[in-house]
A and B are shown apart, each in its own frame.
Chain A
Amino acid sequence: MIAPQDVFPQIADWVANLDDVFPGSWVKPYFAQWEVVHLLSLALIGGTTLLLNLRLIGFGLSDEPPSAVRRAVLPWLNLGVAGILVTGVLIGTSNPERLYTSEAFTAKMLGLAAALVLTYGVSLPAARAEGRLSRGAGLWAAVGLAIFGLSLGVFAVAKLVNPGLWHLVIAAALLVLFVTRRRMRIIYLLGLVGLMATQVAIHHVIYRPDDYANLDPANKAMIGIYLAWILAAAAIQIVRGGRDPGGGPAVKALAYAGILVWVVTAAAGRWIAFA
């Protein structure tokens, strides 16, 4: 009930016709080539938002003020966003029925909206103000986080798509591993290894690998436990660590969201093809 066709049933005829007219019909024979440009744009967004938000967390190019990192990444971030939007629309018009019936696509579009709000409304202005969060940016943060939450909710209940949420767990786990130090990092890593061992045991000792009826709820519970462990470590880092973070805890927390929201959007995009 959460695919675009459920929300916008009145545009079904328009969608059905999209790949027969320009530009869909024109893109269709070169679908793979346009996909490559879509992926290259995604890579640009990944690199730039990572450096921008890591700086706000207090890592990466931490010798430079946040405003300098913002200035350096902005043209390439803009290029990546423009690229992903243009190629996304073109690919979409050449493959419209697939997206119209895809629950993952709903999660992806909500994720994209949240990513744009959190990047352009929060991370970039906060970096420009050397890590301070203005009232306006705070408002955008609330809007962005609300849409991000909605995207995650759709992702979590989407049929055959929700295993893609493990990409969020993997990305968040690695991000927090990168920003933790010394004893904290060892404890954090041991916790992760313990959780992975538990999961292997659930799949091969407690239940049989094909016992999906039991494994499905167990995996969902494990996602929650992983995220709780990762968020706890991130919370400690937000309060304590990082070289010259510039911003306060709120900006640091939003910078984590600013990285992961793009990962969730990209993951939902990839899982359109897997459902």
Chain B
Amino acid sequence: MVRDFVVWLASLGKGSGEYDPSWSEMLASTLNVWGLLEGTHVLSLMLFAGTIFLVDFRLLGIGFRNTPVSVISERVLPLTVAGFILMVLTGVALFYAKPLVYYHNIWFRLKLVFLVIAAVNIFVFHVRVQRDRAVWDTAPRPPAKARISALVSIVAWITVITFGRFIAYDWYECGKPLPHWANVIQECATSEYGAIDLSEMAR
């Protein structure tokens, strides 16, 4: 069902002729727009990941130890949010350029899983961990629950960035002879290139 939606997305704006490109194909084949989107997505890491890591270092008690947590949140997090908006806008546009490629890509799927983990962590931090912040606002080393939250954040974002970079590599591309689990995770059987099982090939 999700795939039907992705197929529909990819075909949106397609003309009546056999070789008329859809909007998605037009975006993917632009001379510079795709490169600028991808470049902006990567460069936004400097703003988004760079600032969120520093906030997490403060919560871990390994950076900005003399600055109250509330001051860091108030002054640094707006930059992080701006970076996140830039990330999401460019990320959505990049997905739209090649939706079926990413849909059947293991790294993209794993990236989404860890994005959800990072989001849940942020939610828990805001509604639970941060509730008694006034008590430990100026503590050089915040309580364990805040440190755990910061550690989860750092690990989740590093994982998201790692899988994001791996998307560009074709190690597990559908249509190649792949281990059974990779074909299952990527739903290769429904992809344009099909699923070729490595063990069945060997037999």
Chain B 89-111 against A: per-residue CB contact (8 Å), 1 yes, 0 no?
00000000000000000000000
Residues of A close to B166: CB separation below 8 A: 32
Assess whether A68 is interfacial by the CB under 8 Å rule.
yes
Point out the residue from B38, B50, B79 that lies within 8 Å of A44, measured CB to CB. B50
Interface string of B23-63 (1 = CB under 8 A from A): 00000000110011011101101111111111001000001
- Find out whether the CB atom of A47 lies under 8 angstroms from the CB atom of B162: no
Contact A267 B39 (CB under 8 A): yes
With a cutoff of 8 Å between Cβ atoms, the chain B residues found around residue A42 in the complex are 45-46
* Complex contact A46–B75 (CB within 8 A): no
Cβ contacts under 8 Å, B42 to chain A: 39, 266, 270
Given contacts A43-B161, A178-B79, could you give 18 more A-B pairs where the C-beta distance is less than 8 Å? A36-B165, A40-B158, A47-B46, A47-B52, A47-B53, A50-B50, A61-B75, A61-B76, A63-B71, A63-B75, A72-B66, A163-B31, A174-B82, A178-B82, A212-B31, A267-B43, A271-B39, A274-B39
* Partner of B63 from A40, A76, A178, A262 at Cβ < 8 Å: A76
Please state if A167 and B43 are interface contacts (CB–CB under 8 Å): yes
Closest to A215 in B: B31
- B residues bordering A, Cβ < 8 Å? 31-32, 35-36, 38-40, 42-43, 45-54, 57, 63-64, 66-67, 71-72, 75-76, 79, 82, 86, 158, 161-162, 165-166, 168-169
Contacting residue for A47 out of B35, B43, B54, B82, CB 8 A:
B54
Select from chain A the residue with minimum beta-carbon distance to B46.
A46
Q: Is A130 in contact with chain B by the CB < 8 A criterion?
A: no
Q: A36-B161, A163-B32 are in contact. Are A45 and B50 (CB under 8 A)?
A: yes
A72 touches B64 (CB 8 A): yes
Residue of A nearest to B51 (CB): A47
A142-186 interface with B by 8 A CB criterion: 163-164, 166-167, 170-171, 174, 178
- 1/0 per position for A13-45, CB-CB distance to B under 8 A? 000000000000000000011011001101111
Residues of B within 8 A of A166 (CB): 36
For the A-B complex, the count of residue pairs with Cβ-Cβ distances under 8 Å equals: 113
Sample 19 A-B pairs with CB under 8 A, ordered by A number.
A33-B162, A39-B161, A42-B46, A43-B45, A44-B53, A46-B45, A48-B50, A50-B47, A51-B54, A51-B76, A61-B75, A76-B54, A163-B31, A166-B36, A167-B39, A167-B40, A174-B82, A263-B46, A266-B43
In contact, A163 and B54 (Cβ under 8 angstroms): no
Q: How far is the CB of B25 from chain A (nearest CB, A)?
A: 14
Check A101 for interface membership: any CB of B closer than 8 A.
no
